Chains A and B, each alone.
Chain A
Amino acid sequence: MANLESLFTAWLEGESLTEEQIRLLESNPDYALMMENATKWQQHSLNYQQLPVPDWDRGSCMPQAHKQAVYFGSGLWAMAASIALCAWLLITSPEQTDSQLLEQVAKQTRLLESQQKQIDQLQNMLTAQNDIQQQHMYQLAKEAIKTGRVERQEDIASVLAYIKTQRAQDQAYLRMQLNDLAEQVDGRPMPTVANNVEY
């Protein structure tokens, strides 16, 4: 049987079998039937005529993933254009002397320094803000814990008060029942009372 299975697998994989091997497979009713059915599928596969795809919007399967690249590209173009403009200005202004250029460089440096200062200040402000926020968070957490604790204490106190009240009511009720019993016992004739006197 295992041999038949390996033969059948080989046949399905398209390996060429000898006539004797094919006869062997066909002599087994199960494998003969599977071969027949496999042949049917193969026939369907061979005769299958591809159906044309209905009209559809092919662009719809192109999500906006590459839009960023487009923007990035335009950013690059903008940068290249500004460099080109600067170069053009430098080339077409030969009257600009070295001292003017130095002055401009100094200006730019000062500007950069002031920007750096501003960035540092902003950084400090952010750090301070973070510290304040952390403190606030700590206070809030503490407050929440405290409130929770007080609420729990109040709840426990009210439960205790309720239990006490309940116990007092139960005791009063029991007392009343005992009094009733005592009155019933007092009102009865002697023989019906349990006689436990020792003789």
Chain B
Amino acid sequence: MFFQSLDTLIAKAQQGNKRAWLKLVKQHETQVYNYCLRMLSHPDDAMDLMQEVFISVYKSLPSFRGDCSFNTWLYQIVHRRSVEYYRRRKHHQSLDALPEEACERSEIEANQQQSQQHNELKSMMNNLPWEQRLVVELKFFQHCTFEEIAEQLGISTNTAKSRLYSALGKLKVHLEAVDG
């Protein structure tokens, strides 16, 4: 049997089946990696965070009861881990102060146009404080409603809205600065 449903994979991984677990990781790693990359802007940091996320998922997998979808559950872990990662890193260095060329040199951004888009997005993201970055990620890239954002981040709906509005206002200032 080559194709297994997500539920089967989860059930097998919960029983400690290594192959099922690795398949599960492979199915979700791209989404998680790109999320981490958007949030942290640096491929090495994104890889570190992604590994931490999957370790956490593996440890919590026995407690997954299927009350919500696996994706929702996974992203709850991703948000928690990313916040912890950011707080931990903040003590060492400013993530926003990382060298810009780190991503440009990367092989994965060989395509010029794609690279430009990614750099622009990175710049926009870096311009936002972490809390606003999270809300923007959830709103525009994960397509969550305000209620879902509030639930995921453990804040009120109004706080989620005000963070997003501030982020949209900040973008204005940033773009004005870029345009000169």
A41 to chain B: closest residue by CB: B140
Decide if B50 touches A38 in the complex (CB within 8 Å). no
B98 at interface (Cβ–Cβ under 8 A)?
no
Interface residues of B, CB < 8 Å — how many? 44
Q: Which of A51, A58, A66, A70 contacts B37 (CB 8 A)?
A: A51
Q: How far is the CA of A65 from the CA of B14 in the complex (A)?
A: 11
B76 at interface (Cβ–Cβ under 8 A)?
no
Known: A33-B169, A60-B51. 20 other contacts (CB 8 A): A9-B161, A12-B146, A12-B164, A33-B172, A37-B169, A40-B171, A41-B136, A44-B140, A45-B141, A45-B143, A48-B34, A48-B117, A48-B121, A48-B141, A50-B31, A51-B33, A51-B118, A54-B108, A58-B25, A59-B22
Decide if B165 touches A47 in the complex (CB within 8 Å). no
Residues of B with C-beta under 8 A to A51 = 33-34, 37, 108-109, 118
Q: Which of A54, A60, A62 contacts B21 (CB 8 A)?
A: A62
A60 to chain B: closest residue by CB: B51
Decide if B16 touches A69 in the complex (CB within 8 Å). yes
Decide if B22 touches A49 in the complex (CB within 8 Å). no
Across chains A and B, the number of contacting residue pairs, with CB separation under 8 Å, is 91
Question: Taking each of B31, B120, B146, B171, which has the highest tally of chain A beta carbons within 10 Å of its own beta carbon?
Answer: B171
Decide if A37 touches B50 in the complex (CB within 8 Å). no
Residues of B with C-beta under 8 A to A45 = 140-141, 143
A13-B146, A51-B108, A61-B54 known; A38 vs B25 contact (CB < 8 Å): no
Q: How far is the CA of A60 from the CA of B139 in the complex (A)?
A: 32
A51-B37, A52-B30 known; A62 vs B18 contact (CB < 8 Å): yes
Residues of A with C-beta under 8 A to B57 = 61
A94 at interface (Cβ–Cβ under 8 A)?
no
Residues of B with C-beta under 8 A to A52 = 30, 108
A179 at interface (Cβ–Cβ under 8 A)?
no
The contact sample of 17 A-B pairs, CB cut-off 8 A, is A12-B139, A12-B164, A34-B165, A37-B172, A40-B171, A44-B140, A45-B140, A45-B141, A45-B143, A50-B31, A58-B26, A60-B51, A61-B51, A62-B58, A63-B58, A65-B59, A70-B16
A33-B172, A41-B136 known; A58 vs B16 contact (CB < 8 Å): no
Residues of B with C-beta under 8 A to A150 = none
B33 → A minimal CB distance (Å): 4
Residues of A with C-beta under 8 A to B22 = 58-59, 62
B114 at interface (Cβ–Cβ under 8 A)?
yes
A193 at interface (Cβ–Cβ under 8 A)?
no
A138 → B minimal CB distance (Å): 45
Q: How far is the CA of A154 from the CA of B22 in the complex (A)?
A: 72
B11 at interface (Cβ–Cβ under 8 A)?
no
Give per-residue flags for B153-173: 1 if the beta carbon is below 8 A from chain A beta carbons, else 0.
Answer: 000000001001100110110
Interface residues of A in 25-84 (CB under 8 A from B): 33-34, 37-38, 40-42, 44-45, 47-54, 56, 58-63, 65-66, 69-70
Q: How far is the CA of A38 from the CA of B22 in the complex (A)?
A: 37
B37 to chain A: closest residue by CB: A51
Decide if B58 touches A42 in the complex (CB within 8 Å). no
Q: How far is the CA of A44 from the CA of B121 in the complex (A)?
A: 7
Q: How far is the CA of A65 from the CA of B29 in the complex (A)?
A: 21
B59 → A minimal CB distance (Å): 6
Decide if B171 touches A37 in the complex (CB within 8 Å). yes
B178 → A minimal CB distance (Å): 12
Q: How far is the CA of A51 from the CA of B30 in the complex (A)?
A: 7
A38 to chain B: closest residue by CB: B168
